[in-house]
Amino acid sequence: MFKKAVIVVVALALIVGFAGCAPAAEETPKVEQVLTYNVGAEPQFFDPRKATGIPEFTMLLNLFDGLMRYDIQGQLVLSMAESYDVSDDGLVWTFHLRDAKWSNGEPVTAYDFEYSWKTALAPKTESEYAYQMYYLKNGAAYNSGDITDPDLVGVKALDDKTLVATLEAPTVYFTSLLTFTTYLPINKKLDMENPDWAKSADNFISNGPFTITKWEHNHQIEMVKNSNYWDADKVKLDKIVFLMVEESSTELMMFENGEIDFGNNPPLPEMDRLKSEGILTISPYLGTYYYMCNVTEPPFDNVLVRKAFAAAIDRESIVTNVTKGGQLPATAFVPGGIPDAAPGAEFRDVGGTYFEPYEPEKAKQYLAEAGYPNGEGFPEFVLLYNTSEGHKIIAEAIQGMWKDTLGVTCTLTNQEWKVYLDNRSKLNYQIARAGWIGDYTDPMTFIDMWVTDGGNNDTGWSNLDYDNFVAIAKGTGDQAVRMKAMHDAEDILMDEMPIIPIYFYTNLNLIKPYLKDYYISALGYTDFKLAYIEEH
């Protein structure tokens, strides 16, 4: 592979006769700077305002540049914004933009941002992720059609370089939200002339490290370095090829054969081998794998039953023997990796653990208190999961743990993905698996799920104190108050246990050792702005 690349480079150099070859900078590596990344799926939407999936995020964040960006250490840094000021009440954010160009050479202005944000919220755009912008004043009202004047939405360009965002409530993590695809800028002129620009590579204009050159649907997307990017000096990769290989065994073989440098889908049966060969890269992932209970019906309407079932799960055994990907036993709902109020503190460390990873004696005690000593008289029940080998082996393991520890009998049922989602939301289940990946780096992305009648609260659980704590946290910009309220909320959630945390997810990747300086976000996407390929 490498030899061939050299031959091609030499041949090309001979053909063009070394014309226009500037002396290479010293730090520029000599190997071909082409990365092949398996993104695994054709994007659903390639317009940043509408994108919803992690594969799209990875591609879009390499194509575009928002006001803020995460660096390779995971620190939030200024990107399109040169600086910003926040009003004392935390509601008005003024961003000062740097000099930057679109890939076609036109300047990126605050008007582009204003236009993007407003159209992302516009009902006719039909963005499924528009709610990520409900933080903006009147964002929700404009999106739902209650108001029709876009000028009432809390975003305004004062001039080419100044963008003012006005929020509904103080939102401390607003800068973190700004890295989200929905807040990326699009080229206003392009979008007005050609609303379908994001459907092919032909007219695509972006403002990030790379720009798109080829898009073969359901096969691959090619990007090349964007020479007009404001920070282009730091971008080392010349080209990224995003393949859409869906089959994990094919991905692994292509990876081992050097046809892929970076894969996302290591097959579970190969986990042990991949770990022992050092091919598997494990990194933090902001997500929780849990079982949820339908609390509107017996037997899971009884909190003691739920606690018994939670305590009877041996989480250590599941992560070591079943999932095998470095996952952590979850002894709370909010995963690690989210900052708390005090500088340097983590929300998870401050909140601590709510129970031990495995408490069989307590489990028996809870069940006896609930009126089912040794599981006597406990009705047979059904555990629901969506059809997948991974969920199946976890469910089988837990079924066994419940049987051994509590003496209860459980039947496993699997349903096709959307049938399962449908039944979940209709509370057509007794106990079911679920997973949640955070949208942004703040506990709120996990905490506000469980408010009464929340869109993603598929348990039927409702607790007014909990709702109050969430409201307190959402209504203030004071980090100490916010974090305290969210810890209080999590206390209630873990005491009432409508959901049973099982493990915290990890990002599992196959990455060639010669690829350096990429950034895998705990939110699931990968940034190649600074990445390069080392000589090998």
d(CA 283, CA 533): 20
Nearer to another protein, 42 or 316 (CB): 42
Rank residues 89 and 416 by Cβ distance to another protein and give the closer one. Answer: 416
Are residues 72 and 209 in contact, defined by beta-carbon separation less than 8 angstroms? no
From CA 40, how far away is CA 31, in angstroms rounded? 26
Q: Nearest approach, Cβ of 263 to another protein (angstroms)?
A: 12
277 CB-near residues (< 8 Å, 6+ apart)? none
Contact 154, 168 (CB under 8 A): yes
d(CA 444, CA 326): 25
Q: What residue has token string 């999961």?
A: 385
Omega cis (within 30) before 329: no
What are the strands, taking DSSP E only, across 205-279? 210-216, 220-225, 239-243, 262-263
Closest CB to another protein among residues 216, 297: 216
Strand order in the sheet with 81-86: 81-86, 92-97, 162-166, 155-159
For residues 46 and 229, which CB has a smaller minimum distance to another protein in the complex? 46
Nearer to another protein, 293 or 410 (CB): 293
Q: How far is the CB of 127 from another protein (least distance, A)?
A: 7
Minimum distance from residue 287 beta carbon to another protein (Å): 11
Which CA distances in Å does 325 have to 55, 268, 276, 318, 322?
Answer: 20, 9, 12, 10, 9
**Angle between the N-to-C axes of helices 389-406 and 360-369, in degrees from 0 to 180, rounded to the nearest 10:** 70
The residue to which tokens 């928002």 are assigned: 66
What's the closest the beta carbon of residue 420 comes to another protein, in angstroms? 9
* Nearest-approach distance from CB 247 to another protein, in angstroms: 5
Which C-beta is closer to another protein: that of 42 or that of 488? 42
- Rounded to whole angstroms, the maximal C-alpha distance in the chain is 86
Smallest distance, another protein to C-beta of residue 119, A:
15
CB 408, CB 378: distance < 8 Å: yes
CB of 260 to another protein, least distance (A): 9
**Residue 411 in contact with residue 454, Cβ under 8 Å?**
no
Q: What is the number of residues in the chain?
A: 536
Which C-beta is closer to another protein: that of 243 or that of 328? 243
Please, are residues 437 and 524 in contact by the beta-carbon 8 Å criterion? yes
Q: How far apart are CA 386 and CA 390, in angstroms?
A: 10
Least Cβ distance, residue 239 to another protein (angstroms): 16
3-state SS assignment for residue 363: helix
Could you write out the DSSP letters of every residue in 256-303?
HTTS-SEES---GGGHHHHHHTT-EEEEEEEEEEEEEE-TTSTTTTSH
For the beta carbon of residue 457, count every other beta carbon within 10 angstroms: 18
Rounded to an integer, what distance in angstroms lies between the CA atom of residue 507 and that of residue 524?
A: 7
Is 200 or 374 the residue whose CB approaches another protein more closely? 200
Query: CB 77 → another protein: shortest distance, Å?
Result: 27
How many other C-beta atoms can be found within 10 angstroms of the C-beta atom of residue 18? 8
Closest distance of CB 355 from another protein, Å: 26
* Site of interaction with another protein (CB under 8 A): 42-47, 50, 52, 123, 126-128, 130-131, 143-145, 198-200, 215-219, 243-247, 249-250, 253-254, 256-257, 259, 416-419, 421-423, 425, 434-435, 439, 455-456
In whole angstroms, how close is the CB of 435 to another protein at the nearest point?
7
